[in-house]
Amino acid sequence: MSTGGGTRAIIAALLANAGIAVAKFVGYLITGSSSMLAEAVHSVADTSNQGLLLLGGNRAKRAATSEHPFGYGRDRYFYSFVVALLLFSLGSVFAIYEGLHKLEEPEPLTSPLVAVAILVVAIGLEGFSFRTAIVESRPLKGSGTWWQFIRQSKVPELPVVLLEDFGALVGLVLALLGVGLTVVTDNPVFDSLGTISIGILLGIIAIILIIEMKSLLIGEGATRPVLDKIVTELQDGPDVERVIHIRTQYLGPEELLVAAKIAMTPGLPLEGVARAIDEAEVRVRAAVPDARIIYLEPDLDRSTASAS
């Protein structure tokens, strides 16, 4: 991964979730709480997910080959998509199944204070991980909202970690609420309802991530502000009259493909055309560093010619 911040956020989340998973499993074995078991499986899924994100970032660094001439940047999108699927299957579906099972066959909790203590500590650790993800994401977010960042970010890891940590925090609160109400009312049905709520929450987050990662995996173009900047830089040269049409696509989080047909000054010699194209590429790369691969096709402005 090119951004150290993304890696720091993933490692912080991985370490926090690994420790939390062990504590939750111990808590489940002591208390028998289905909410605690659902949260333990959730933490195992999150730990595995962070490992997959690190693996994807590492594999994306491989050099381009004849079989993959544009490199392996989209590996980061693929592994983020797998993360979303795991969150849905291993986290959401299991929690809902466990909650419905315990709803049909409720079991009393033993040593509920142990569960409460573990959940409180877990909330502190998840809060640290969530704060790290927020701090590392803020420079990329800019002035937009967090929802816009999740929807528009081309870097998949930080939105994944942000949503996972947010879901983990809310899930811990739901588990704590389920265990607390079970203790107060002496009715284990609240523990089951807490488990089902965790499953629904994880399902919603997983579906959001699946939709966003699928879009990136298929191939997204530059956002309108970035596209306008590219067009402006292309047309800024004295020998480029206008951009006839342009296509862009992200080959990876920091690698944008730009292909455009540009209208050149009529009668420009071959050397002038080559120089104008080289200068246009330099201008675009200076303004949009992600524009790593640029293909420009020179042409005449036939619309002007036909109008005259």
Tens digits of per-residue pLDDT, 227-236?
999 999 999 9
Q: Report which secondary-structure segment, H or E, holds 198.
A: helix 189-218
Domain stop point among 218, 250, 283: 218
Which residues make beta-bridge pairs with 293? 257
Do 81 and 188 have their domain in common? Answer: yes
Q: CA 301 to CA 145: how far, in whole Å? A: 40
pLDDT at 304: 58
Do 190 and 266 have their domain in common? Answer: no
Domain stop point among 172, 190, 218: 218
- Residues 86/135, Cβ–Cβ less than 8 Å: no
Do 86 and 161 have their domain in common? Answer: yes
Q: CA 57 to CA 76: how far, in whole Å? A: 6
The share of the chain scoring above pLDDT 90, in percent, equals 26
User: For the sheet containing 293-299, what is the strand order?
Assistant: 240-252, 255-264, 293-299
Domain stop point among 218, 238, 254: 218
- Residues 264/280, Cβ–Cβ less than 8 Å: no
Do 116 and 191 have their domain in common? Answer: yes
> Does 271 score more than 50 pLDDT?
yes
Select from 203, 207, 206, 198 the least CA-distant residue to 99: 198
Do 138 and 171 have their domain in common? Answer: yes
Instruction: Quickly tell me which residue has 């998949």 as its tokens.
Output: 156
Please count the structural domains in the chain.
2
Task: Give pTM, 2 decimals.
Answer: 0.78
- Residues 17/129, Cβ–Cβ less than 8 Å: yes
Domain that holds residue 250: 224-307
